[in-house]
Structure 1
């Protein structure tokens, strides 16, 4: 199972489409908020299932702020991240994942890509395709799940 992961598109639909094309075949696209509406537009255009969460810049009535899905035997927690002050540190987010029994956390908000294994939890931020920060370049993520094995890569556009 291959997941394409984007976040913080902030209206840059063409850049998002370019990133999705660059991803190649994905089984599921995940949009981690800030311009949740971009994810809904992309869902109509790309023909791939999409899961999206709302971020701190999303003021739509529709949509969820956090989603938990079991995929290929892994419990994945998807959230924008502002709710857990991820710009400061990841402690609260990590402990929330443990509380929920999740072994993969996908989040955004910081616009800075990050992939770390903390204990048995993969914490993954694809960065931002539209407004990278912290010296990063525009990026997205690919997560491949093969049974118990999880590979997460951050790819620059």
Structure 2
């Protein structure tokens, strides 16, 4: 299974357009959105090209291929604009012998882990910082932010392909971080 991950769009239309273009070319079966899709939130400056209604419209075109979780900046009003479900605080994707636990990162995080089995993967956003590493018995993966990157990192997204999780720079597709997750 090939998956593409994007987090913390925060209403940026240019970032959304880039994500959707990469998704179309990637061959991924699913686009996993890790929350904070439409609103910038009170702690963030407005991202470039802030246009939440247009972001919703563009994402709705791919609704049948989106798996999403609710972030701390997502609301019931946002769900009214989106045709794919956004109200769940977490989702799971089952791989052969492994589970991807998808969450935004404000409820479950590396500091507040859900119950995970050996070799499971905690997939989260929220911090806007890319992570791809094994910590103890589980893997941690954060694709960073496509619109408001932090820590001096480039805007980024994630890919899962052939047992490898990669964080990729949005503009030039260089690998920022990666980890093999095959048990």
TM range (shorter): 0.7 to 0.9
Q: Equivalent residues in 2 for 1:3-152 (5 A)?
A: 3-23=3-23, 24-35=26-37, 41-46=57-62, 49-60=65-76, 63-84=87-108, 86=109, 90-93=110-113, 96-98=114-116, 103-144=120-161, 146=162, 150-152=163-165
Does the 8 Å contact 1:4/1:20 carry over to 2? no
Supply the distance in 1 between the matched residues of 2:38 and 2:69 (Cα, whole angstroms): 7
Pick the structure with greater CA Rg.
2
TM-score by length of 2: 0.69
Which is helix-richer, 1 or 2? 1
> Structure 2: how far apart are the matches of 1:42 and 1:72?
32
Deviation at 1:15, TM superposition (A): 1.4
Give the paired residue count: 146
- Judged with a 3 Å threshold, the aligned counterparts in structure 2 of structure 1 residues 151 and 49 are, in CA distance, closer, same or farther, namely same
SS at match of 1:20: helix
CA RMSD of aligned residues (A): 2.5
Unmatched tracts of structure 2, length 5 or more:
40-51, 80-86, 171-183
Whether contact under 8 Å (1:56, 1:82) holds in the other structure is yes
Structure 1: 5+ residue stretches without partners: none
| Deviation digits for residues 82-104 of structure 1 (CA, Å, limit 9, x no counterpart) | 114x4xxx2322xx242x67701
User: Is 108-117 or 36-45 further displaced after alignment?
Assistant: 36-45
Q: Deviations over 1:45-67 (max 9, x none)?
A: 23761110011101117511111
Shift of 1:142: 0.3
- Bigger relative contact order, structure 1 or 2 (CA pairs below 8 A, ≥6 apart): 1
Q: What TM-score do you get using the length of structure 1 for normalisation?
A: 0.80
